[in-house]
Amino acid sequence: MRNKVFIVGAGFVGSSFAYSLMQRGIAREIVLFDIDKNRALGEAMDLSHGVSFTKPTIIKAGELREAKDSDLVVITAGAKQRPGETRLQLIDRNLQIFKDLIPKILESGFNGIFLVVTNPVDVLTYVTYKLSGFPRQRVIGSGTVLDSSRFAYLLSQHCNVDPRSVNAYIIGEHGDSAVAAWSLTHIGGIHISDFCPVCGKNCFTQEIMENILKEVRESAYKVIELKGATYYAIGLALVNIVEAILRDENRILPVSSVHKDILGINDIPLSLPSIINRNGIEKVLNIKLSEKEVEELLNSAKIIKQMIDSLDFDKEPIFS
């Protein structure tokens, strides 16, 4: 692998991701593309001026044709989410962008892994899968990786532990129907329901659980209301996904992908814990959930399916 990452979109998310990626030192080459060429050039120059403080990295602005020999194309481009606007309400504007963008990337000869970040990420992961004709394991959405980090952070604050000691997943939609997988939540190897005596707080009451999930779901809206956009945390989340791919880590992350069959629902993109390596998604884990969590996950899938069914879009994939 060349460890070349091609970033589509040099806005707040794309540039924050490039900055985090440069600092981690895992990409040999980073190419920024934006419809605003001056923006991409300016970001590339600014980042390049700091490479003497990091691992050797080539950072430049480029055209879509330069995606050809990239290991990953990371798509952050799209319409900005407005205050009060849900991620799903973005679809009409961003669908048109992807219909134009994906074929042009394919024309370059690109044959790596797509990583979709643009919202609504689940729906646009599906759109990218259909338009590209790539195998489903090579079309990945950033999914609920960031949501899971928010979840772990809130639990760590409540239980007064380091967030790195919290193993917790948000699954389903990256959006308002996201599901907290309490059944899979552990702190230091202890299930969350058994950790309450350790931290001295009753953190497994229905009210507290609902409040924490509510805050996870509304976090992005609060940040957007306060400063206009979210970008630092998603930039870091993307670096973890890319690192798992480029370093062939077999790391488990709750990314979004189009599943052949999940709980009897076919061809629906959902985030579930998946093994990530240089092949993309090596395997989606068969997790055990409570009946309530299964019901919530099915509802999340139903919401995404309704949005997909409403799209003016019916292209069949080349691969199954």
Please tell me the pTM assigned to this model.
0.93
pLDDT score for 81? 67
What is the CATH T-level fold of the domain 145-309, as seen in this structure? L-2-Hydroxyisocaproate Dehydrogenase; Chain A, domain 2 (3.90.110)
Q: List the catalytic residue out of 174, 186, 191, 259.
A: 174
Cα dihedral 195→200→202→208 (10° resolution): -100
Question: What pLDDT sits at residue 313?
Answer: 67
pLDDT of residue 318: 47
Q: Which amino acid is at 203?
A: C
Diameter over CA atoms, the chain = 59
> CATH fold of 4-141, please?
Rossmann fold (3.40.50)
With H, G, I as helix, E, B as strand and everything else as coil, classify residue 273.
Answer: coil
Domains of the chain: which residue ranges?
A: 4-141, 145-309
> Which residue from 67, 60, 85, 68 is spatially nearest to 10, judged by alpha carbons?
60
The pLDDT of residue 268 is 92
* The pLDDT value given to residue 96: 87
Residues of the chain with pLDDT under 70: 1, 81-82, 84-88, 202-203, 313-320
* 248 belongs to an annotated ligand binding site: no
78 is in an annotated binding site: yes
Q: Is 122 flagged in the annotation as binding? A: yes
- CA–CA gap between residue 157 and residue 137 (Å, rounded): 35
Residue 11 marked in a binding site: yes
Looking at residue 87, what is its pLDDT? 58
Q: What is the pLDDT of residues 65-124, one digit of tens each?
A: 999 999 999 999 987 766 766 656 778 788 989 999 999 999 999 999 999 999 999 999
* Residue 259 annotated in active site: no
Please give the pLDDT value at position 88.
63
